[in-house]
Structure 1
Amino acid sequence: MKKSFIIILISLLNYNLFAQLNKPTDPLAHTYSIVARDAETGEMAVAVQSHWFSVGTAVSWGEAGVGVVATQSFTNKSFGIRGLAMLKAGLSPQEALDSLLNNDEGKAFRQVAILDVKGRVATHTGAKCIDEAGHANGDNFSVQANMMLNDTVVPAMEKAWKDNGDLALAERMVKVLEAAQAQGGDIRGKQSAALLIVKPEASDEPWNDRVLDLRVDDHENPVKELNRLVKVYRAYQHMNQGDLYVEKAQMQEAMNEYNAAMEMFPKNLEMQYWTAITLANDGKTDKAVEMLQKIYAEDSNWRELTKRLPEVGLLEVSEKELKRLTK
C-alpha cells in the first residue's frame, strides 16, 4: 500500500514537472478581444481589454489589405507578424492558423484569432486556457476570451457585435468590449485596452494605412477611457475636415466642422483656438478676439503663439488686427 502511494506520488510529480516544462514562457495576456471587418467599408479591426499592462503591444496586430490577428492567453507575439505574412502570401486564415500551431509546443495554452480582407476567420482556444475560456465566430468577426469571471462573456460579445451593425466600426468594437465588461470580464479586473483599425487596401503610403491606433496602457477603467478617446478622434476628424474646407476657402463649411468638434469637447482649448484663428483669417476679428480672450484667461501661452503665427503665414491680418488679437 505504501509502495503504491509512493508510485502514484512520483507519477503526479512527474506529470506536474512535465506540465511546467511544456508551459510556454511567453508573456501572459489573459483577456477578451474581438477581430472584425466592416462589411461596408472593408476596414478591419482588433479591440482588446485585459488586466495586464499595455495589452495592445502584445495582442493586437494588423496590416492594411491583409488582415488582423489577436494572439492572447500565453501570448506568442510572432503569431501576429507571421500570421499576417501568411495571409499576405495567399493562405486562408485557417491555413495560417494551422501552420502557426503545427509546431507550437505551447498550443494548448494559446488563444488566437485571425481575420482576412474577405472577412474569413479562424480561431483557436487551447485546452489549457484558463476558464472561463472560449470563442464564437462567423462572417466578418470572431470574439474570444480566457480567464473570464463567468461563461456569459463570449455570448455577450457576440450579441453586441450583431446588435450594433448600425454603428461605425470603432464605436461598434467598443460596444463589444463594454458588453464583455458588463458580464464581469477578466476575473482579475481591468487595466489596459486597445483598438486598432486598418484600411481594406494597402497604399503606397503605409504610414497612412492605419485608420486608428488607440492604446490605454494603464487605467482604472480602460474601456471607458478607450471610448472617450474614440470620441476625441471623431472630434479631431471634424477639425481636420474643417482645415480642408479652409484650404478651399469654404469658410462656412469649415466653421460648421469646427463647431461640431467644439460641441463634442467644449473645454478643449486647442479646438477653440484654431477656430478663433480661422475666424480671424476670415475677417471676423470681433468674434476671434472674443474667443481668444477666454482662451488666454485659461492659458496665456496661447497669446504668445498667436504672435508667432503671422511669420509662418498661418495668420494673415494687419498689424492693427494683430494687436487686437493679442491684447
Structure 2
Amino acid sequence: MTFSIVARSSDGLAHGVAVASKFLAAGAVVPAAQAGVGALATQSYANLAYRPQGLTLLGTQVAAAEVVAGLTAADPGRDQRQLGVVGKFGEGATYTGSGCHEWAGGVAGDGYAVQGNILTGPEVVDAMRDAFLASDHGTPGDSAMALARRLVRALSAGDAAGGDRRGRQSAAVYVVAPGAGYGGTSDVAVDLRVDDHPDPCGELARLLDLHALLFEKADPDSLLDLSGELAEEVRALLADRGHTDADLDVALADWAGIENLEERMIPGRIDPLVLAHLREKA
C-alpha cells in the first residue's frame, strides 16, 4: 500500500523517513525516528509497535538487520508486514513478508533502506535508491535539511516511476538530528505531512521548499553586511512596513518575527533570502 525510504545523512548526524501511499495520512502511521539513534518505516498492515520497539533496539546499538530480525520474529503477523530500518552506523535493512500484496520488495545499502508494496513493479524502489544515491553530493543546506531534500527527491522519483499502483493520496517526510528543531529546542528538524491530496509528492516538495525558506539556518557564506546603502535600503523598506526602531537589527527582527523568518536572523547581517522576501513584500 506504500513506498518509503529510511536513511541516514552523509555525515551520520541526521536520520529520517519519507513515505507516500494511496492511504489516508500515511505519515501518521509509517515513520519513526530518534536523533542519534536511527529511523524506521513500518507498512503493509503496519505494526505500530515496531516503532518504539525498533528505536529502543537501535538505541542499544543493535544493527539494523538484527532489529528487523528481532521485530519480525516476535510478530505472528510478520508475513503481511514490511519494514525498513537504519541505525547510527552501517547498512540499512529491509524486510518484506511473503504475504504482502504484489508487487512488494525492497533494497538496502549503507545508510538507507527502500521498500514498497502494491507497486507498479521493482522499478519504483530502484528509482528511489538511484535518486537517493545520486544526490549524495552537492545537496545544499545543513545535515538535516540536506537529508530531507534527498528523501523527498527519492520519493518523487519513485512516484514518477509508477509508485503505488492504486493511485496517490498522501505523503510525508520526517527528519531528526540533535538540536536541529525550531530554536534549537527539539530534535525534530522536519515534520511535514500531506494527508489527502491528488499530487501528494509534488505538494510535499512544495512544503519542504517553504519550510526551508522559513526555518533553514542561513548559509554563513551568503550573508550580507547590513551597512552603507544596503542598510539604508533595508531601513526604508522596514519603515514602509511600520518597523521604525532606531536599531536596525531590532527593526529587522521585529518584521522577521511577523513573517516567520526569525530563524534566519543574524545580528549585523542579512540573509539574501530574507532580503528578497522583504523587497517582494514592499
TM-score (norm 1): 0.64
Query: What SS does structure 2 have at the residue aligned with 1:120?
Result: coil
Question: Contact conserved, 1:111 with 1:126, CA < 8 A, in 2?
Answer: yes
Q: Distance in 2 between matches of 1:94 and 1:84?
A: 13
Greater relative contact order (Cα < 8 A, sep 6+):
2
Find the counterpart in structure 2 of residue 57 from structure 1.
28
* Structure 2, gaps ≥5 residues long: 140-145, 220-224, 259-282
Letter of the 1:194 partner, please give it: A
Deviation per CA, 1:247-301: give whole Å up to 9, x if none.
Answer: xxx746xx89xx9xxxxxxxxxxxx9899455x33578xxx9xxx9xxxxxxxxx
Question: Contact conserved, 2:12 with 2:88, CA < 8 A, in 1?
Answer: no
Find the counterpart in structure 2 of residue 176 from structure 1.
154
Find the counterpart in structure 2 of residue 81 from structure 1.
52
Deviation per CA, 1:13-44: give whole Å up to 9, x if none.
Answer: xxxxxxxxxxxxxxxxx100000111125211
Q: Distance in 1 between matches of 2:149 and 2:210?
A: 12
Question: Contact conserved, 2:6 with 2:39, CA < 8 A, in 1?
Answer: yes
Please say which structure displays the higher CA radius of gyration.
1
Is 1:135 the counterpart of 2:99? The answer is: no
Structure showing the higher helix proportion among its residues = 1
Question: Contact conserved, 1:36 with 1:119, CA < 8 A, in 2?
Answer: no
Q: Distance in 1 between matches of 2:90 and 2:28?
A: 24
- Give the deviation of 1:131 after TM superposition: 1.1
Q: Tell me: CA distance 1:53–1:281, structure 2 relative to 1, closer, same or farther (3 Å).
A: same
- Give the deviation of 1:79 after TM superposition: 0.3
Find the counterpart in structure 2 of residue 246 from structure 1.
none
Is 1:214 the counterpart of 2:192? The answer is: yes
Q: How many pairs are equivalent? A: 233
Question: Contact conserved, 1:37 with 1:119, CA < 8 A, in 2?
Answer: no
Find the counterpart in structure 2 of residue 151 from structure 1.
122
Find the counterpart in structure 2 of residue 281 from structure 1.
245
Q: Tell me: CA distance 1:125–1:218, structure 2 relative to 1, closer, same or farther (3 Å).
A: same
Over the matched positions of the two proteins, sequence identity in percent amounts to 35
Question: Contact conserved, 1:60 with 1:71, CA < 8 A, in 2?
Answer: yes
- Give the deviation of 1:65 after TM superposition: 1.1
Query: What SS does structure 1 have at the residue aligned with 2:44?
Result: strand
Query: What SS does structure 1 have at the residue aligned with 2:16?
Result: strand
Letter of the 2:104 partner, please give it: A
Find the counterpart in structure 2 of residue 27 from structure 1.
none
Q: Distance in 1 between matches of 2:95 and 2:189?
A: 27
TM-score (norm 2): 0.74
Q: Distance in 2 between matches of 1:274 and 1:164?
A: 42
Q: Distance in 2 between matches of 1:71 and 1:222?
A: 19
Question: Contact conserved, 2:171 with 2:200, CA < 8 A, in 1?
Answer: yes
- Give the deviation of 1:234 after TM superposition: 1.2
* Structure 1, gaps ≥5 residues long: 1-29, 243-249, 260-271, 293-301, 303-327
Deviation per CA, 1:135-193: give whole Å up to 9, x if none.
Answer: 11100111111100223111111111111112221111111111111111001111111
Question: Contact conserved, 1:154 with 1:180, CA < 8 A, in 2?
Answer: yes
Q: Distance in 2 between matches of 1:53 and 1:274?
A: 46
* Runs ≥4 residues deviating over 2 A: 200-203, 272-278, 280-284
